[in-house]
A and B are shown apart, each in its own frame.
Chain A
Amino acid sequence: MTQTQVKRLAGQSLGNQVLAAVPAKHYGRLNELEPVTLKFGQILYEAGGIIRYVYFPLDCLISLLTAVDKRRTLEVGMVGKEGMTGMPFILGMGVSGVRALVQGAGRALRMRAAPFRLEFDRNQPLRQALFRYTYALMAQISQTAACNRFHEAEARLARWLLMTRERVASDEFPLTHEFLAHMLGLRREGITEAASALKRRGLIDYRRGKIQILDAKGLKAAACSCYQIVKTVYDRIQR
């Protein structure tokens, strides 16, 4: 990809916000970035697995999942165009503690982890953009930890739907109750109950593996405060 192509892709409104924060003159060495299309359910890396590529989502959505009891999973964070997947490689030693799963199909820019790491070490604006993003990610994970302690299924589901909606930039997306159960760490019956409640309130509709958000404003009121708190942190790092 040429420098112009990279710049154009990253600078567009659908572009990735970490890359967009890097000034043009520093772009040259990121020319290894390549556009890819990610499919729903694709696993970018497993927990305990080596990170070979870092990904910058453009309009796709990645879930970060931790394994519980080696069988169940729980989502601890979400990454969309505001961030990057592969942070453990940048921060640590190349192995991921979580599973990165494509939850919303779409496009991303990817680069091999090793050359990216070299660039990270020499590119100050890139580093700072990534640190700000890491800060926001830590805020999101902390919030999830607290949310899991204090908040009820319905409010947590509302929050989760809103976060997804923002990152895939659509009111409608494919989703099963089974999948949601894995994300939120609830039994499927718990999800069905919470989703029915939101449906009764006219906030969402769902049928056969698809969820549609009917009333985003109402959903915000139904969500726990964690939604707005994390959103504020993310908005703040955009400057």
Chain B
Amino acid sequence: MLCSAWYIRGVPAPPGLGYLGRRTILPPPPPPSTEAHRIASPDSRDNRLLDALPAAVWERWKPHLEIVPLRLGQVLYESGTTLSHVYFPTTTIVSLLYVTENGESAEISIVGNEGIVGISLFMGGESTTSRAVVQSAGQAIRLKAQILKDEFNQSGPVLHLLLRYTQALITQMSQTAVCNRHHTLDQQLCRWLLLSLDRLQGLDLVMTQELMANMLGVRREGVTESASKLQRAGLIRYTRGHISVLDRAGLERRTCECYAAVKKEYARLLPEEVAT
């Protein structure tokens, strides 16, 4: 896939971007509404949080929901910006990345069809502390921020659902903090692959080496090295950003306990899987 245009090294920062600008150039904003389309059928709720909404809320939200296609590498929001929309992934995977002053980045958490992107919005922060990047192209359902905020402030089932999701996310962040300190790079790559597969259909992932490097917080060579290790062990097939998982059980054996810890907490807190 020819998506690495989003990340151009060595270009000086546009004014106002400060520490973010040195290694990446921001792509244009998310697609305009002409590319999106309203939810057609009442049953298109391929996201666990949306699926758990009471019928009355779903009916209220339906006119305001749009299905949007998200491109690999697309930035949904930058840290420090205010959000206009929240996103409920259906077939896409979004990474919440932390970006340092030098422009290095590392993934803090992953969001797929179990969750929502834009949680800071209703935590009263108004702006976000991480950057949200599309790690696997696909679709999401998008909702205007204000609608969510109004619902959230009403202290009903939506509030409680989103709070439980927040707790799950905090657990994932905490586990990442641990993982980054104590575990090896290929264990982290295994964990990430498994968390992604849990949120997608099938065993294939299309990414770019650049995105993987940004996610793991290493240079491209580090990505090649880790991926090669997993390939040599017969766990994946890897060619320049295209990953096929060959032995999922093997990945689970090789990864650190962080994968199981996060998975268990998500299972405990969040509603049942959407029936496919």
| Contact indicator A92/B163 (Cβ below 8 Å) | yes
Q: A127 contacts the other chain (Cβ, under 8 Å)?
A: yes
Q: Is the CB of B269 within 8 A of A92?
A: yes
Sample of 22 A–B contacts (CB below 8 Å)? A64-B174, A68-B257, A69-B257, A77-B174, A90-B163, A92-B163, A92-B167, A92-B168, A95-B268, A127-B155, A132-B123, A138-B169, A138-B170, A142-B96, A142-B129, A143-B98, A145-B173, A145-B174, A146-B98, A149-B180, A233-B125, A237-B124
Name the distance in Å between A220's Cβ and chain B's nearest Cβ: 16
Given known A92-B164, A131-B123, A132-B123, contact A145–B180 (CB-CB < 8 A): yes
Q: Mark A114-154, 1 if CB is under 8 A from B, else 0.
A: 00000001101001100110111111011111101110000
CA of A237 to CA of B176, assembled, Å: 25
The smallest beta-carbon distance between A68 and chain B, in angstroms, is 5
**What's the tally of chain A residues with a CB closer than 8 Å to chain B?**
43
Q: Are B129 and A97 in contact (CB under 8 A)?
A: no
A134 engages B174 (CB within 8 Å): no
**Residues of B with Cβ closer than 8 Å to A?**
96, 98, 100-101, 104, 106, 108, 119-120, 122-125, 129-130, 153, 155, 163-164, 166-171, 173-178, 180-182, 217, 257, 265, 268-269
Chain A residues positioned under 8 Å from B96 (CB to CB)? 142
Which residues in window 186-202 of A have CB below 8 A to B? Answer: none
**What are the 5 tightest A-B residue pairs by CB atom distance, in nearest-first order?**
A92-B167, A135-B123, A91-B167, A146-B98, A145-B177
Taking a contact as CB atoms under 8 Å apart, the answer to whether A149 and B164 are in contact is no
B216 — nearest CB in chain A belongs to which residue? A149
In the complex, A72→B181 CA distance in Å? Answer: 12
Complex Cα distance A90/B164, Å? 9
Contact A98 B174 (CB under 8 A): yes
Interface centre among A64, A97, A225 (most CB of B within 10 A): A97
Query: A66–B269 contact, CB under 8 A?
Result: no
Overall SS of chain A's interface:
helix
A124: B residues at CB distance < 8 A: 153, 155
Q: In the complex, are the beta carbons of B100 and A225 less than 8 A apart? A: yes
* Residues in chain B near residue A1, CB distance under 8 A: none
Q: Which residue of A lies closest to B101 (CB)?
A: A225
Residues of A contacting B106 in the complex (Cβ-Cβ under 8 angstroms): 145-146, 149-150
For B217, give the chain A residue with the smallest CB separation: A149
Chain A residues near B171: list those with CB within 8 A. Answer: 97
Residue of A nearest to B123 (CB): A135
**B268 neighbours in A (Cβ, 8 Å):** 92-93, 95
Say yes or no: A141 contacts B123, CB within 8 Å. Answer: no
Docked-complex contact A185 and B120, CB < 8 angstroms: no
A66 touches B164 (CB 8 A): no
Is the CB–CB distance between A72 and B182 below 8 Å?
yes
Q: Is the Cβ of A66 less than 8 Å from the Cβ of B175? A: yes
Instruction: Give residues of chain A (217-232) contacting chain B, Cβ–Cβ below 8 Å.
Output: 225
- A69–B170 alpha-carbon span in the complex (Å): 19
Are B101's CB and A131's CB within 8 A? no
Residues of B within 8 A of A92 (CB): 163-164, 167-168, 268-269
Per the 8 Å Cβ criterion, residues 46-87 of A in contact with B are 64, 66, 68-69, 72, 74, 76-77, 87
Partner of A142, one of B155, B173, B182: B173
Say whether, besides A68-B178, A91-B163, A146-B100, A233 and B124 are in contact (CB < 8 Å).
no
A14 to B181, CA, bound (A): 34
